[in-house]
Amino acid sequence: MRFKHPKRAWTTGLIALLTLTASGAGTAASAVADGTMNHGSATPGPVVSNRNAGPGQLLKSERLPKTLWLPNTAKAYRIHYGSTSHDGRRIAVSGAVFIPRGNAPKAGWPVVSWAHGTVGVADVCANSRSGRSQRDTEFLQSWLAAGYAIVATDYEGLGTHGEHAYLNGNSEAYGVIDIVRAAQQLHEPLSEAWLSVGQSQGAQATLFTGATVRRYAPELDYRGSVGTAPTTQWRLTASVAKPFDPETPANPSVLLILAGLRTTHPDFDPAGYLTPFGQQLLAAAMDTTCFTAIAQQLAGRPSTDVFAVDAAEEARLLDLLESDAEIPIVRHSDPVFLGQGTADLTSYPPATALTAEKLRAVGNDVTFKFYQGADHGGVMAAAKADILAWAADRMR
């Protein structure tokens, strides 16, 4: 059955949700924010930089502090590993590895490479240092309880040298893939079979992973891509959300998009798209302030307080976003599962449905499900049983 999602209703709901998020209202904030509960409270420790490291080379491992462990964890590591940047350079990326309790199967623990949602672009936002939201924790502990090891990249430039290439799909995919390679060097009983699983920004990352993995890492035993509430179909979503209209509340994600484009396109200067207040916020976001704190600072402010974007500039932004971030409609060698909540006011539900249809049209094995009444964050819990069952079938 085709889902009907009126544009006017979604736009009205989005405005209301962004207003609540910016004021720090509990559940509304968690519905949009994909990051940790303690944004910006952690001080990053020493990081590793090795420009000569091969993709997936384990550079450093240490015990993850128990305060950052997920439930159902037997052992956990913080690691640094070699990967590839958005522009093809060799870089170091950080992340975490969680080993489940119990005895490993004969072939080793199957692996989930977790791709997290939006947390921010500053080093202090890296999940391997600042922890994870209750929503993500509850979702991930279910994978551990089901007998999966979890490897969780921080992505390029989060917790390591350089800047975060926010929403650059190739960069995200490389981080998701290379942490699987690196974890195999920890001498833990890990299976060679693995899946990529992600939410929001991370769902976009998993779809780029599925499109990339056979070319980038043909030696790996990849079994499929799982995503909930992916960021996709930018022009369609922008036509509904109207992020730069004077009556639209300022959207903190747009600020992070500008930061990401500055990283991936050296000739792009976000200052011209921002008011003086917006420029101050961007500087803070690049240094110390994570997503939730940015949203709180935008409490009650209209878009025009932060952004100064005309029609031509918006068109250029969309061109750059499509170049960096639009999910590629290509043939995957492995199945795809996509879940989308009907009450999601962050990822536009018809946009997710359209991407699923396009992926099917080029010959992909796509399982796509709407979850009635689930919002942006709630879709993870709503879809969890279906996802775990789908994953079990892939791992046989």
Q: What are the residue ranges spanned by the domains of the chain? A: 1-396
Q: What residue ranges of the chain have pLDDT lower than 50?
A: 1-2, 15-33, 35-46
Distance CA 240, CA 251 (A): 14
Distance CA 96, CA 83 (A): 15
Beta bridge partners of 78: 62, 96
Instruction: Tell me which DSSP letter residue 122 carries.
Output: S
Which pLDDT score, from 0 to 100, does residue 38 have? 40
Distance CA 71, CA 211 (A): 32
What's the CATH architecture for 1-396? 3-Layer(aba) Sandwich (3.40)
Return the number of other C-beta atoms located less than 10 Å from residue 146's C-beta: 14
Distance CA 95, CA 83 (A): 12
DSSP annotation string for 217-260: -TTSEEEEEEEES----HHHHHHHH-TTSTTSBPPHHHHHHHHH
Q: What are the residues whose beta carbons fall under 8 Å from the beta carbon of 236, sequence distance 6 or more? A: 348, 350, 351, 354
Which pLDDT score, from 0 to 100, does residue 50 have? 59
Distance CA 339, CA 221 (A): 24
Q: Report the first-to-last Cα separation within the chain, whole angstroms.
A: 30
Closest alpha carbon to 292 in 44, 31, 24, 15: 24
Distance CA 52, CA 159 (A): 19
Distance CA 31, CA 181 (A): 32
Distance CA 93, CA 62 (A): 14
Which pLDDT score, from 0 to 100, does residue 366 have? 98
Which pLDDT score, from 0 to 100, does residue 45 have? 46
Strands 90-100 and 221-228 come out as unpaired
Compute the C-alpha angle 30/239/234, nearest 5°.
Answer: 65
Closest alpha carbon to 292 in 116, 17, 20, 33: 33
CB-CB contact of 91 with 82 (8 Å): yes
Burial class (CB in 10 A: 0-12, 13-18, 19+), 272: exposed
CB-CB contact of 257 with 167 (8 Å): yes
DSSP annotation string for 366-380: EEEEEETT--TTHHH
What are residue 375's phi and psi, to 5 degrees?
-90, -165
The tens digit of pLDDT for each residue in 78-91 reads 999 999 999 999 99
Pull the structure tokens for residue 107. Answer: 């072939």
30 three-state secondary structure:
helix
DSSP annotation string for 141-208: HHHHHTT-EEEEE--TTSSSSS---TT-HHHHHHHHHHHHHHHGGG-S-EEEEEEEEEETHHHHHHHH
